[in-house]
Amino acid sequence: MSSAPPTPPWSVHRLPRADGRVFLVTGANAGIGYFVAEQLSATVVLGSRNPAKAEAAATSIRAHVAGARVRAVRLDLADLPSLRTVAESLEVERLDAVVHNAGVALDDPPREETGGGHELMFGTNHLGHFALTGWLMPLLAAAPAARVVTTGSFAAKSERLDLDDLQSLQDYRPKRAYGRSKLAQMYFGVELDRRLRAAGSSVASVVAHPGGALDSLTPSRPPVHVRTTGARLSAAPAGLLLQGKHAGAWPAVRAVLDPSVRGGQLWGPRAFGLRGEPRREPVWDHLADGSVAARLWDASRDLTGVDPG
């Protein structure tokens, strides 16, 4: 009796092909999102609020990946009403995965808001992806085993949500607000999978984080990203602990392509959660708090008018 050949070990240098599958990557015109899109060898739709930058990214991907099928759609996560039309603009019958990667990070005050009156980082990073998932769910459900991959951040590990001040109206500190917005995203990814399982859905939700990913350790992709010799040399010591954004993309790419990945899991870099090939991590203790996740879900549903689950 013949047996199926063993599945080869996962390697970031020998990714499985995904011919015929369709993926959407938000924030794909630069940074980690660009490299996620470059590494997914399939039909990839680049979601970006800047059409010119998205086209530049698409051109770069085609130059580096033979036969890449890449196109762009306008996607502004800070503009919640506009997200209603994204699914139609994809012009596909199904969606095999969406990678929630786009994000805004502010370093300095003052506090800023979206056009809808939400704190900019919470509104874009979390509420935008929350609502987008709801509008994409019919396309995801039409695929045999679609995945929602939410890209969190190692910065969220030390943060805790203030459920009474999700929009940082009472105490705004930019770096903390960013970390909490990413933590909210990660709570969403875990809670979404719990709800999908309860509903018997074929869609799975996975959370990933890139570890410590720096521009100065990232290979050049002109005009999307250009690394100077000076930047490369000055960043060499950091390379002992951190990595470039091409490597920061690996956990999300594995979450999309690896058939052994399951919903509700957390994936990050192997070495101290900061660098290296992707591995499964235990879900962080505070991230496993279902009561916080449920309250955040209810608040997000009320703020967006959308229920993804």
Enzyme catalytic residues = 178
Comparing CA positions, the residue from 37, 299, 49 lying closest to residue 149 is 37
What per-residue string of b and e applies to 131-163 under the rule 16 or more CB within 10 Å gives b?
A: bbbbbbbebbeebeebbbbbbbbbbbbebebee
Report the C-alpha gap between 131 and 40 in whole angstroms: 24
Confirm if 281 and 273 have CB atoms less than 8 A apart.
yes
* CA atoms 299, 300, 303, 304: torsion sign: negative
Confirm if 194 and 290 have CB atoms less than 8 A apart.
yes
Report the C-alpha gap between 271 and 261 in whole angstroms: 19
Within a 10 A sphere around the Cβ of 299, how many other Cβ atoms?
16
23's enclosing H/E stretch is strand 22-26
What would you report as the CA-atom Rg of the chain, rounded to the nearest whole angstrom? 18
Alpha helices in 144-275 (DSSP H): 174-198, 229-234, 245-248, 250-257
